[in-house]
Structure 1
Amino acid sequence: MKTLLVLTAAALLGGAPAFAQSTPLVATTKVDTSTFIKMVPSANEFEIQTSKLAEQQATDADVKAFAKQMIADHTKAGEDFKTALSLGQTTSATAPSGPALQPKEQKMLDELKGATGGQFQAKYIEMQTNAHKEAVALFSAYAKSGDDPAMKEFAKKTLPTLQMHERHVKELAVAHQG
């Protein structure tokens, strides 16, 4: 199971230039603090931006309700992240200056913006499924191995919400198949 989490986290982090310079995630269950701090704001912002689109464009009420919940929970997670960053051992200079998306996430957001109707909704559910699978792996690994106590506590505190999101989006995927 640890290997699966590590490989999933590696898939999430694979496109990040900073990841190439860090310890290979596949070789260990450890996620370094600088990688965690670089990935969280982008992943969080991706959740918010795609969910704002879904609130407007999704066709089914349950998907719109999920999107609304994502916006609320990930906005709170962003605030909690900033608090943890200010309390942590890592300087704010290490963190991204804003919630800019990584190129991978920007490409997916642009792809979602181009979708309409049922295609939009299916793509949103698929992206949320993958994003939460990756986020759960990242947060789980950092909650176990992180070396910044404030960030580690943030990861532990946020993980159950991400796991709930992952279960909920899987239920949406089943409800909206075919």
Structure 2
Amino acid sequence: MKNIALALVATTALAFSFVPSVDAKSPASADTAAAPFKVDKASFVKVVSSSNAFEIESSKLAEEKAKDGDFKEFAKQMIADHTKAAEELKAAAKVDGPEPPMAPKHAAMLETLKGASEQEFQPLYIEMQNVAHMEAVSLFATYAKGGDDPAVQAFAKKTLPTLEMHKMHVQKLVAAH
């Protein structure tokens, strides 16, 4: 359990691995609010590529290690959806070549999952998924609202509803277990 607590603290502390620029204006309402920070294309692509790689690899582990069928089914969906998102991001961003290496944050989270005991794995995996999807929804919403590349911005807008669905699914799994 000590490993779970440390992993969750590390995951939460490293919520965003890019440096946002803060917009000091106070919006009249949340509906008309400008994005609270700006994310450039290069940072967005880097973070999303790493996040997709983490989602895919951690979910492959979950297909093997998770005990509950609903976790295995969720993992299968994460692999399919994040593989598709990775391909669509590469096309939108016009990125050729191999995937960049996973960010240290995501690599550490994956190593924690690999080392988790049978008893620790499922709660750790779903908590990491919960945090990752909260981060992803925030990042995609921000880029969809104020991204600096129209094709990547369109990708963010198109992908955001799927990430919001993942986030709700994760929260249901958290509540059920």
Aligned-residue sequence identity (percent) comes to 55
Q: What TM-score, normalized to structure 2?
A: 0.81
Q: Any conservation in 1 of the 2:113–2:124 contact (CA below 8 Å)?
A: yes
CA distance in 2, matches of 1:25, 1:121: 36
> Structure 2 counterpart of 1:102, which letter?
A
RMSD of the alignment, in Å?
A: 2.0
> Structure 2 counterpart of 1:146, which letter?
G
Q: Paired residue for 1:120?
A: 121
Question: 3-state SS of the aligned residue for 1:101?
Answer: coil
| Structure 1 residues 25 and 156, CA gap change in structure 2 (3 angstroms) | same
Q: Paired residue for 1:40?
A: 48
Q: Paired residue for 2:33?
A: none
- From the two aligned structures, give the one with the greater helix fraction: 1
> Structure 1 counterpart of 2:85, which letter?
A
CA distance in 2, matches of 1:142, 1:11: 19
Q: Paired residue for 2:39?
A: 31
The offset of 1:85, in angstroms, is 1.3
Q: Paired residue for 2:6?
A: none
Question: 3-state SS of the aligned residue for 2:15?
Answer: helix
Q: Paired residue for 1:139?
A: 140
**31-40 vs 162-171, which moves further:** 31-40
> Structure 2 counterpart of 1:57, which letter?
K
CA distance in 2, matches of 1:61, 1:26: 44
CA distance in 1, matches of 2:108, 2:82: 20
Q: Any conservation in 1 of the 2:113–2:121 contact (CA below 8 Å)?
A: yes
1:149 aligns with 2:150: yes
Q: Paired residue for 1:107?
A: 108
Q: Paired residue for 1:60?
A: 68
Q: Which consecutive aligned stretches of 4+ in structure 1 deviate over 3 angstroms post-superposition?
A: 25-28
**58-67 vs 25-34, which moves further:** 25-34
Q: Any conservation in 2 of the 1:45–1:99 contact (CA below 8 Å)?
A: no
Q: Number of residues paired by the alignment?
A: 154
Q: Any conservation in 1 of the 2:46–2:100 contact (CA below 8 Å)?
A: no
The offset of 1:26, in angstroms, is 7.2
Q: Any conservation in 2 of the 1:46–1:105 contact (CA below 8 Å)?
A: yes
